[in-house]
């Protein structure tokens, strides 16, 4: 049965999906410690936030998360089209981030909700029993996309 073939998810794929979910949970909770746990702490890690230039190394990436969390009073992700690929000790997840977020006014008083659509590629490397994020690349999808 075709359905049966889909039941037995590979253990690695389960683990990769779990850490990918942890990334978005940390983002929604704006929890820096949880976000820190997701990432490999090394010089080779890279993040490209939508519309930003790429930032390399955990120190700069950590700073970007602190800035984003400080300036994001609310953010919610609905993830669609999630696909996982694994080769050896490397896994990558591609998905669509459908985002609802508060865009604070200058005085923080009049937050408004805005939607955004981001195409993301998340890259993970196996670290013993877990997987660590080594790259997150999110890009804005235009209205014509």
Backbone angles phi, psi at 56, to 5 degrees: -115, 145
Does 140 participate in binding a second copy (rule CB under 8 A)? yes
For a second copy, the binding residue among 2, 4, 33, 88 (CB under 8 A) is 88
Structure tokens at 9: 């998810």
CA atoms of 143 and 109, how far apart (whole Å): 29
Q: Which stretch binds a second copy (CB under 8 A): 5-13, 20-28, 68-76, 113-121?
A: 113-121
Structure tokens at 82: 């999630």
Does 134 participate in binding a second copy (rule CB under 8 A)? yes
CA atoms of 49 and 89, how far apart (whole Å): 25
For a second copy, the binding residue among 22, 94, 98, 103 (CB under 8 A) is 94
Structure tokens at 49: 């936030």
Binding residues (CB under 8 A) for a second copy: these are 44, 46, 48, 50-54, 56, 81, 83, 85, 87-90, 92, 94, 96, 117, 119, 121, 123, 125, 134-135, 137-142, 144-145
């Amino acid at each position: 049965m075709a359905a049966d073939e889909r039941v037995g998810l590979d253990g690695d794929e389960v683990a990769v999906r779990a850490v990918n979910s942890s990334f978005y949970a940390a983002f929604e909770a704006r929890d820096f410690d949880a976000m820190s746990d997701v990432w490999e702490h090394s010089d080779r890690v890279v993040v490209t936030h939508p519309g930003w230039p790429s930032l390399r190394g955990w120190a700069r990436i950590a700073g970007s998360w602190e800035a984003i969390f400080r300036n994001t009073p609310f953010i919610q992700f609905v993830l669609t089209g999630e696909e996982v690929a694994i080769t050896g000790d490397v896994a990558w997840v591609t998905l669509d981030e459908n985002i609802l977020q508060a865009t604070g006014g200058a005085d923080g008083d009049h937050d408004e909700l805005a939607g955004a659509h981001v195409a993301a590629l998340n890259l993970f490397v196996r670290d013993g029993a877990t997987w660590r994020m080594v790259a997150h690349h999110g890009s804005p999808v235009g209205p014509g996309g």
